[in-house]
Amino acid sequence: MAVLDIKKYPDEVLKKKAAPVKDVNASVLRLVDDMVETMYAAPGVGLAAPQVGVSKRIIVIDVSSKEEKHPLVVLINPEIVAAEGSVDSEEGCLSIPEYTAVIKRAERVVARGLDPEGNPVEIEGTELLARALQHEIDHLDGVLFVDRLSPIKREFFKKRYLKTVMRDV
């Protein structure tokens, strides 16, 4: 297993729609292992393949430090098939370090995809797991949490964040 580099905003791979995984094979499983290792090392509660520069529809999530009842989630080709309720909560992202914003998300979601053995699975999430599922699946569609801000807040973020990023280069 390896800790991979996490791509940072405004890297182009973060804006692309990721391709579906056609076959759950050894290279996909190696990527999943590396993504899990990278997520824990970051540390974060979720990671999508585009965040490590691979434009494939794979996510890993572990909210167990915050919600004991949820083990590691690995979903290949995930999609949200049901959503209900609405809740505003603060979000951050490993690809946009040191920036958080309050984002409106569904309160409860059901996601469907494949597990690492290639079997169909369905996962119901509430609270942090629901938020993480929506956030990571957004990554697969080239959507960052800052894209969900109002236009004014998004412009303010871009100016402020890019100024900070350019200063640190």
Domain ranges of the chain: 12-168
pLDDT band at 98 (very low <50, low <70, confident <90, very high): confident
12-168 has CATH 3.90.45.10 classification: yes
Percent of the chain at pLDDT > 90 equals 86
Residue 64: CB atoms within 10 Å:
14
Q: What is the pTM of this model?
A: 0.94
Name the residues annotated as catalytic: 136
Beta strands in the chain (DSSP E): 46-48, 58-61, 73-84, 87-93, 96-105, 108-114, 120-126
Q: Are 161 and 99 in contact (CB under 8 A)?
A: yes
